[in-house]
Structure 1
Amino acid sequence: MWLIRTALRRPITVLIAVIGIALCAILAVVRMRVDIFPELNLPVIYVAQPYGGMSPRQMEGYLVFYYEYHFLYINGVESVEDKSIQSNGLLKITFHPGTDMSQALAQTIAYVNRAHAFMPYGTVNPFVIRFDAGTVPVGDIVFSSPTLGIGQIQDLALNRVRPIFATLPGVSAPPPFGGNQRSIVITINPERLRSYHLTPDEVARAIQSGNQLMPAGNVRTGSLLRIVNSNSVVPEITRQLDDLPIRTGAGPTVYLHDIGYVLDSTDIPTGYALVNGRRAVYEPVTKRPDASTLSVVKEVRDALPRFRSLVPSDIHISYEFDQSGYVKNALLAVAREGLLGALLTGLVILLFLRDARSSLIVVTTIPFALLTAVVALWVSGQTINIMTLGGLALAVGILVDEGVVAIENIDATIERESDIPLARAVLRGVEQTVGPRFLSMLAVVAVFVPSFFMTGVTKALFVPLSLAVAFSMVASFLLSSSLLPVMFMWMHKKRGADGGPPLGVHSSFEAFREKWTRGLHHVVGFRWLIVGAYFAIALLIIVVMGPRLGQELFPEVANNQFRLRLEAPYGTRAEDTANLTSEILRQIGETAGPGNVTTTLGYVGTQAAAYPINTVFLWSSGPHEAVINVALRPGARINVEAFEEKLRHILPPKFPGCTFSFEPGDIVSQIMNFGAPTPVDIAVTGPDFVQLRAFTQKLRGQLGEIAGLRDLRTEQPLDYPSVNVDIHREMAGQLGVTAGEVATSLSQATSSSRFTVPNYWADPKTGVAYQVQVQYPQPEMTSLQDVKNIPVMPGDTQHPLLGDLATVTDGITVGEYDRENGLWKLDLVANVAGQDLGQLSRSIDEAVRRAGPPPRGTTASVRGQIGPMRETFTNLRIGLLLAILVIFLLLAANFESMRLSFVVFTTTPAAVCGMILALAVTHTTLNIESYMGGIMAVGVGTANAILLVTFAEENRRRGADSVSAAIEGARARMRPILMTSAAMIAGMVPMALAWGAGAEHTAPLGRAVIGGLLAATLTNLTVLPFVFSIVQRRASVISPSLDPDDPASRYAEG
């Protein structure tokens, strides 16, 4: 091979190239992004639409519907989902994989603008954002003060800190949580309003006219062009608006101070943030999909002093719920396991070779192969994450295969042809192994090729791992054909002078090999029975034990954080829910023990209409909901899952009427839920809401019987308390009042004029504009009678109240309307405890069947983690079958024989069985990591089988019978096979033992590789020779070549 000759002719060039690769790798590591997962690239766009005061039914019918209708015109749409609660609507557009998301985003904005033309007056434009499931908060900046109010803190965080925070590299900065937007609030007294025969709308219109923004233009005086400054917008808002005339003309003038007062305050609060049980403000630190978690967190921490300098000194700013430590632990665990694996691999090689120089040569190729792979990953646009590091760690053991085979054959050549020069022996020994090594490398790489044909999240996760393994294997092949012979020549110039034994002569190993060979000869007469028993046992293990393995999408990892979602009785006011949340947090602290709860951070209620984008990051359906993040002290030794189960028994009796649901608090589980609040989500869709609700309730009863489900609930509030205002249009018409006038007065009394009569004022001190709104004092609107007393129409003779024109009654309404592709949707969500997700998914399927046939047009689909898990495993199974087919065809082309390809794959069932047994013994689930470990074991086992079959077939073609050729092949290839397998198993041991924090992620991968490779190696050295002898016993030794000039062809001339 030209590469080997070139390397031996230009050894310094080879050395320089290797050094250059190392330098490039250092640069690559510095430049590459570091994160827990690769970019998932989910094709999703969110549209967040606010309208303060609109009921859920109004939001759904008059705003969200038009978006949903128009979005179906966008190219590549897979589904349109939407949620509608009071004041907020949220739409999620999912596109088919491969959609050009830049074009999709442009089309979405275009159709947003078109849909906007059909919406009610006062509708503001929505937020449109492309949001990836991997874009979850990596921490929170918390603002608190003992002296300032929440509104003041919110304003400072929004207008002073956020502009700097948003410019940090990689940061996506939503508005702060916890306070509402600063506003100039005009609170009108209902009694005085009625006494002056005024309506809320008349007040709002008067203020709009008396505080109106208009361009003033310029005045030319002499040679000067002067800018005109007008006070059409009052400079001193609180003082000058007080004296604004509301009604003039006949009778006394009514001023604003006669009927109310002006306050520099905030919009009506809809939610509160709680930090350690006290009200505060926090800013979620979210990163862009293409940003690194570690770099974003570092940027934010470095910027904290700058943030503190922008606000008053009594505002305390801290960074809480830092997820970067979790990411660091996971990545360091993989790196640490890889280094330990490399060390153990080197010791195994030394044990087998008994030659420090040769061992050093083989081990030296490992780091340089990995560094080459890092450079290739950087060039291909990959990042440093748990999948790429896992691929590199996975490759450590198998990387020695190329070097071991080359070294072993060089030594064999030296022993066999002792009269030739060392350089010639090295050249010949390496050249002879090029074919088998290249084929073995392709066999390992081929098992990962199908990952490139997967779609969605599966592809996003597995392509980086596959590339890491493939680049490492290719680099190892090239290094063993270039650097290895050069180092061998440099380090063995005086080989044999020290009196050491040749590599192949080790009495202990030779004795073992001879005993093994004699054993094969003794049982060869029973080869049919052995082969039959092997396939029968393999089939039994796969069929019986395989389905019993637990299944989950990604391995669970111990952590010290969790999230609790509290639901008080529907309609509970946000301030009462906040007080209740503080009591619950105290109970959690008592249950955990003194000092074991380090930080709690929660949000109570819904997002303010001024910050609709926040609904993308945290969705809640009403003021009765609270979402609490709890961080436990790392050294507390509290098992989070057991602690959650304990709280499930403690909290409900102490807080009757409340429901509790636990959600993942760690970044990995949040990402793997793909936006769902819990791992289990059963979405029921249908065209008839009444029938849909009845079937969902029936299904919920069946799901309640599943022992492994926890916190089962209907996600949408269906029985929300309401006030029904039934306008009598005929009576109103007789009084000259329209239904619109009634609705306007009602809106401004129960909500505000913020959306219906927009008005603005700019603070001259900061240059920041705020809205001016008219509203009733919220504490005084507390009964149906207060609603009835709202003035409707101004006048001097008739002064009707709302109660005169409408019937006002209590009622029940739906608190949240969800739709998907035009159909109503209800979600049953739940957590998992005591069962694996795979077993639970089968129980859920059975529960759906027991619920009976759904109404016409109604369907129930299982989502959360279950849907992606099933899709991923299906893709992996198909991928494994495709990999086997690819390798089979590759081997058939190489051997020019279908029979030999079949013989090589004798080891595949053993690898699968070994993986199953290893997972069962260690109580490990079948997940993404263990599946990839099994695939790797299949690839390595196949590579080892190729070495044996290649040697055996060469012996058979030289005249040996199939039995002797097979046993001799096992004897001759035993050492490289055992060395490769032992080295890889040793390399996987640290990973399988899961030492250190965050190491649980990759433990299943190591265990699957160890189990699969142990079984495959044993099969290669025992069963495979017998299968070869059976399959090849009557095979011709004549080549299938049709070339008459080929001496091996039966058609050769002469």
Structure 2
Amino acid sequence: MNLVRLALRRPLSVLVGVIAVALAAWIGLQRMARDVFPPLGVPTIYVAQPFGGMDPAQMEGYITYFYEYHFLYITGIEHVESKSIQGASIMKLQFHPNVDMSSALSEVVAYVNRSRAFMPPGTPGPFITRFDAGSVPVGYLVFSSTNANRTVGEMQNAALNQVRPLFAPLPGVSAPPPFGGSARTILVNLKPDRLRSYGISADEVVTAMAAANTLSPSGNLPLGDKYPFVPVNAVVKNIQDLAAVPIRTGTGAGGGAVFVRDLGEVADGADLITSYALANGKRTVYMPVTKRSDASTLSVVELVKANIPNFKKVLPDDIEVTYEFDQSPYVVRAIRDLVKEGALGAVLTGLMVLLFLRDWRSAFIVVINIPIALLAGTFALWVSGQNINLMTLGGLALAVGILVDEATVAIENIHVHLARGRSLGRAVLDATVETTGPRFLAMLCVLAVFIPAFFMQGAAKALFTPLALAVGFSMVASFVLSSTLVPVLSVWLLRGHETEVKKEERSAAYTALLRPLLAARWLVVPIYVLAAIGAVWLLTPKLGTEIFPKVDAGQIQLRLRAPSGTQLEKTEAIALRTLDLIKREAGADNVQMSIGLVGVHAANYPVNLIHQWNAGPEEGVLQVQFKPGSVRTEPLKEKLRATFKAELPDVLVSFEPSDIVERVMSFGAPTPIEIAVQGQNLAASKEFADKLRERLVKIPSLRDVQFAQVLDYPTLDVNINRERAGLLGVRMSDATKSLVASTASSRFTVPNYWADPASGIAFSVQVQVPQGRVNSVEEFKNTPVTTAGGKATLLRNIASVSEGTAPQTYERYNLVRVVSLTANIHGSDLGTVAKEINRVLAEVGAPPAKTSVAVRGQIPPMEEMFTGLRNGLLLAVVVIFLLLAANFQSLRLSLVVVSTVPAVLAGVALTLLLTGTTLNIQSFMGAIMAVGVAVANAILLVTFAERARVGQASSLSSIQNSPAPAAAGSAENSQKSGKMPDLLGAALTGATSRLRPILMTSFAMMAGMLPMALGLGDGGEQTAPLGRAVIGGLAAATLATLFVLPSVFAVLMTGKHTRSASLDPDDPASPQFTSAKS
């Protein structure tokens, strides 16, 4: 029993099934995560290694190298990138697609442990994390205080130790340590003049402190029935007790001892300041709120906002915490507007169907199919583990127009059968069964265009697969509904209206146009082929290309770099000046919020470097959010570039991805353009990069062309004379320890801790000379250095000090040093700029020996994505062709159907060019979708034309072989004799009989895509290319189907007999048929 007959026999079962699907979909919608994009699954692992005090060259040679060397042995590794700066290095491990990242992470941990065996003693443990492109900040927790005496360090401590632990129970939520401020630290601040007067080096103080404040195990002593602890106050209880620690005895004034209090002071303060966080221009502390790549942006934001009262409970009363730069409104608006576009598209589709059928009952049956199929598709998406995002919603919106096809074909054929005078029940049954085959084949052809999605790799697969599943599930549901619900509703609603349905007369105008085209078919077909292929060949190169459509989210992020080695406070002043200029150009009333970080993250928190990379005190990153609809960011960026150049001429500025869409689709690249010059000879690489930069700045569409690394950071080179040092009894280890304690902190050489009894949290105890107390080279030369005899000598007695420069950052790619140029784009697209860059690379000539040039940034992933999409489109056409061949048992008919593909591609290219739309992943998906729909329409026409051709042959055979013994014998003779029917008549019959359903399907889908193509609402620019591509491709394909396809059919089927392809001797239609008696 077929599906149609079963539905007609059990109509209430059909209704129960529909209601069950609706309820299941409603449950699924409540539980599905909602986000901008699906999880991209970028196979990346980061390793962040701190080592406070190490300079960049030491980090590269003694730390980073051993990691890189071992990481290249990991299974599935593609490349290893590293950046080494003072006190930290960060390594990015990129894996090949489809690598099991759980196993990869285990291997990384194993090789990290092996690498550490080769590193200097005391090397801290690294931070290892899987970091996906979707793991981006969805907002910031900003801390502020109404107490003027509250320090930033105190707020940092509260945020780190009171608020951050509360993130642990929140699913999908994470947050790195706070940005800004420094960790609470017990400081022993030494006075250089006191050290010199007593002849004591800072290292002696460090040694004394380590001996006087030491952690000692506690034993137990049995006393009667008790077994008490025996703790010793080896660690001070009160930090001021540290001031009484003796450094020397018998050397003080009058022969007395020298204590810490004689050399400096003890303070409960903060670690060395390496960065300042700014919120609306004021120093503060903030925490980026990040989500796991598979978590929902909306759920994460809602959880964090709901827990803000809990955060406030654990904070002092004067500290406020707010949630800023909330990315969820953008997600909500994007999803809401896409739903609105889909709903409006469904309404327009229904009106188009009503216009063609002119019967509200029939239109209702067609339109009711849409929401039920979408609900079924949504339920299937939930079951398959997908979430609600722009791709799945785009697929559902795209499916609106396609879903009409199944029900429209069935309803239209029911009208035809009713017009023949059949009873309602018989007309519904026969008409629906008659179209089951073509509808099923059309569905398979539409689904076939999405098969390549499962063979793609990387981001293209992650983005395309959810859209493909959304369309596919909805299409399958629509086919089932058109075979069950549509016939049931038709019998119920069309009752008593059989006589109102009359046979549609052929359109005289269409026939009049088609006849001369058929007559000139041998001219029409070559002209069509040449015109379509020529249009694709000529127009496609003129289209701009990019990964994803640009969207203006009303935010900007910029990176500023002051002259090399600029002090932190000076950089902060430049950042504040930059914010003032932004307010001036954008309008102060239009700025809603600004945050920023000036300087480099403290070595205590290496993971922060993954979230935001700064290399030194001269760098800062500012993020500004404008009030909705108040500012257009691209023109503003161009104005700001001119303003910065005029008023901050020594400051380099570069704009970076700011909103959640840009950050995700940039795949971690800070700028769309990066050109890496690789070679072990850093000087030669820099020289060649300079030549490249001179030519790149001349490309009109490039902006912010600059080096990614600072290679001339100022240094004070201390050159110790080993012979002189030996004569004075100074060991190299003693000299370096004295210098570290005087210029940085003792925690880098001798870690020491004190646990706060009130909280049970341990804080570092460190000896240092506060920054600013030594402010000249001559004074620096007077730094006391420990000798073997216990006395101190001055640095100038054993060493020379000279000023120089050195790289601030060492970057490597698979162990090869890299000098990078970065740039932004204005007024052009990524593909066009890529061509210009390739031209420059060709003009500048070959790089020096053992040096290579690589283009990175967003260009490689774009090229990889388009290669996958192009191959996917070709594979889709091949799959469709094979499906058609299997169905028609004719390669010629299959070729007739796919002959509409060039028209689709030409229509897509022309539409994108006329609307100024780039070729991106959205428009490419629209093109692939248009191919499937165009083929589905062509199947209808070709199927009926072939039926007419075979029917004519059958009639000819019946006349020539009359009197025929039976109808079956007539069919058998016609098939075996293979008579030649009137091809033009068959083509005309197929075209005119399918005119209305083809027009109805095409116009309905184009109407459904119109709201999306117009890009209405927030974020409409992201999905508009998809709608435009579908409309353009389908419009061209509809014209080709109606006016060219009949001629193609007549040309390709010329000389084709009607005999069956069957080889079964028991098949009466087979040329090999023989009766059992033969």
Question: How would you bin the TM-score normalised by the shorter chain?
Answer: over 0.9
- In structure 2, the residue matched to 1:1047 is 1068
Matched residue type, 2:1044: V
Of residues 245-254 and 405-414 in structure 1, the stretch that sits farther from structure 2 once superposed is 245-254
- In structure 1, the residue matched to 2:590 is 596
How far is 1:412 from its partner? 1.6
- In structure 2, the residue matched to 1:547 is 541
Q: Distance in 2 between matches of 1:220 and 1:249?
A: 41
Q: Distance in 2 between matches of 1:578 and 1:964?
A: 82
Q: Cα deviations across residues 868-908 of structure 1 (Å, max 9, x unaligned)?
A: 11111111100000000010111111111111111111111
Does residue 369 of structure 2 align to residue 365 of structure 1?
yes
How far is 1:475 from its partner? 0.8
Q: Distance in 2 between matches of 1:663 and 1:74?
A: 32
Matched residue type, 1:260: G
Does residue 391 of structure 2 align to residue 387 of structure 1?
yes
- In structure 2, the residue matched to 1:308 is 312
Matched residue type, 1:793: T
- In structure 1, the residue matched to 2:516 is 522
**SS, match of residue 481 in structure 1:** helix
Q: Cα deviations across residues 601-646 of structure 1 (Å, max 9, x unaligned)?
A: 000010101111000000011100010001112242x211001100
How far is 1:535 from its partner? 1.4
Q: Distance in 2 between matches of 1:207 and 1:679?
A: 51
Q: 2:768 aligns with which of 751, 775, 779?
A: 775
The answer to whether the 8 Å contact 1:446/1:887 transfers is yes
Q: 1:1035 aligns with which of 1039, 1053, 1056?
A: 1056
1:27-426 matches, within 5 Å, as 27-146=27-146, 147=148, 148-237=150-239, 239-248=240-249, 252-416=256-420, 418-419=421-422, 421-426=423-428
- In structure 1, the residue matched to 2:501 is 502
The answer to whether the 8 Å contact 1:344/1:983 transfers is yes
- In structure 2, the residue matched to 1:607 is 601
**SS, match of residue 784 in structure 2:** coil
Matched residue type, 2:542: R
Does residue 946 of structure 2 align to residue 939 of structure 1?
no
Q: Residue 121 and residue 200 in structure 1: after superposition, are their counterparts in 2 closer, same or farther (change >3 A)?
A: farther
Q: Distance in 1 between matches of 2:811 and 2:104?
A: 23
Q: Distance in 1 between matches of 2:513 and 2:609?
A: 70
**Structure 1: runs of 5+ lacking an equivalent:** none
How far is 1:228 from its partner? 2.6
Q: Cα deviations across residues 902-942 of structure 1 (Å, max 9, x unaligned)?
A: 11111111111111111111111111111111111111001
How far is 1:519 from its partner? 2.0
How far is 1:118 from its partner? 1.8
The answer to whether the 8 Å contact 1:348/1:986 transfers is yes
Q: 2:562 aligns with which of 558, 565, 568?
A: 568
The answer to whether the 8 Å contact 1:362/1:400 transfers is yes
How far is 1:227 from its partner? 2.3
Q: 1:765 aligns with which of 758, 763, 766?
A: 758
Matched residue type, 1:539: I
**SS, match of residue 599 in structure 1:** strand
Q: Distance in 2 between matches of 1:767 and 1:10?
A: 72
Matched residue type, 1:598: Q
Of residues 906-915 and 422-431 in structure 1, the stretch that sits farther from structure 2 once superposed is 422-431
**SS, match of residue 458 in structure 1:** helix
How far is 1:796 from its partner? 6.2
Q: Distance in 2 between matches of 1:593 and 1:201?
A: 54
How far is 1:598 from its partner? 1.4
Q: Distance in 2 between matches of 1:781 and 1:615?
A: 29
**Structure 2: runs of 5+ lacking an equivalent:** 953-980
The answer to whether the 8 Å contact 2:85/2:808 transfers is yes
Of residues 978-987 and 685-694 in structure 1, the stretch that sits farther from structure 2 once superposed is 685-694
1:1021-1032 matches, within 5 Å, as 1021-1032=1042-1053
The answer to whether the 8 Å contact 2:679/2:818 transfers is yes
- In structure 2, the residue matched to 1:995 is 1016
Q: Distance in 1 between matches of 2:791 and 2:598?
A: 44
Q: Cα deviations across residues 18-60 of structure 1 (Å, max 9, x unaligned)?
A: 1111111011111111110000111111011111111111111
Q: Distance in 1 between matches of 2:790 and 2:107?
A: 55
The answer to whether the 8 Å contact 1:241/1:256 transfers is yes
The answer to whether the 8 Å contact 1:271/1:603 transfers is yes
**SS, match of residue 462 in structure 2:** helix
Q: Distance in 2 between matches of 1:135 and 1:471?
A: 29
The answer to whether the 8 Å contact 2:7/2:485 transfers is yes
Q: Residue 535 and residue 785 in structure 1: after superposition, are their counterparts in 2 closer, same or farther (change >3 A)?
A: same
1:967-1006 matches, within 5 Å, as 967-1006=988-1027
Q: Cα deviations across residues 194-221 of structure 1 (Å, max 9, x unaligned)?
A: 2222221221111111111111122222
Please provide the CA RMSD for this pair: 1.4
Does residue 542 of structure 2 align to residue 536 of structure 1?
no
Q: 2:828 aligns with which of 811, 823, 835?
A: 835
Q: Distance in 2 between matches of 1:410 and 1:633?
A: 55
Does residue 872 of structure 2 align to residue 872 of structure 1?
no
1:919-934 matches, within 5 Å, as 919-934=912-927
How far is 1:675 from its partner? 1.0
Q: 2:848 aligns with which of 840, 847, 855?
A: 855
Matched residue type, 1:707: P
Does residue 579 of structure 2 align to residue 581 of structure 1?
no
Matched residue type, 1:60: E
Q: 2:462 aligns with which of 460, 463, 469?
A: 460
The answer to whether the 8 Å contact 2:80/2:91 transfers is yes
Q: Distance in 2 between matches of 1:331 and 1:734?
A: 76
The answer to whether the 8 Å contact 1:355/1:503 transfers is no
The answer to whether the 8 Å contact 2:247/2:258 transfers is yes
Q: Distance in 1 between matches of 2:327 and 2:804?
A: 44
Q: Cα deviations across residues 79-133 of structure 1 (Å, max 9, x unaligned)?
A: 1110011111000111111111111111111111121122223321011111001
Q: Distance in 2 between matches of 1:365 and 1:228?
A: 80
Q: Distance in 1 between matches of 2:774 and 2:347?
A: 74
Q: Distance in 2 between matches of 1:629 and 1:349?
A: 49
The answer to whether the 8 Å contact 1:330/1:1001 transfers is no
The answer to whether the 8 Å contact 2:729/2:787 transfers is no
Q: Distance in 1 between matches of 2:314 and 2:503?
A: 73
Q: Distance in 2 between matches of 1:77 and 1:838?
A: 28
How far is 1:798 from its partner? 5.9
How far is 1:12 from its partner? 1.3
1:618-1017 matches, within 5 Å, as 618-636=612-630, 638-794=631-787, 799-959=792-952, 960-1017=981-1038
Q: Residue 317 and residue 369 in structure 1: after superposition, are their counterparts in 2 closer, same or farther (change >3 A)?
A: same
**SS, match of residue 630 in structure 1:** strand
Q: Distance in 2 between matches of 1:979 and 1:227?
A: 89
The answer to whether the 8 Å contact 1:353/1:503 transfers is no
Normalised TM-score (structure 1): 0.97
How far is 1:61 from its partner? 0.7
**SS, match of residue 781 in structure 1:** coil
1:455-494 matches, within 5 Å, as 455-494=457-496
- In structure 1, the residue matched to 2:971 is none
The answer to whether the 8 Å contact 1:402/1:476 transfers is yes
The answer to whether the 8 Å contact 1:549/1:920 transfers is yes
The answer to whether the 8 Å contact 1:123/1:755 transfers is no
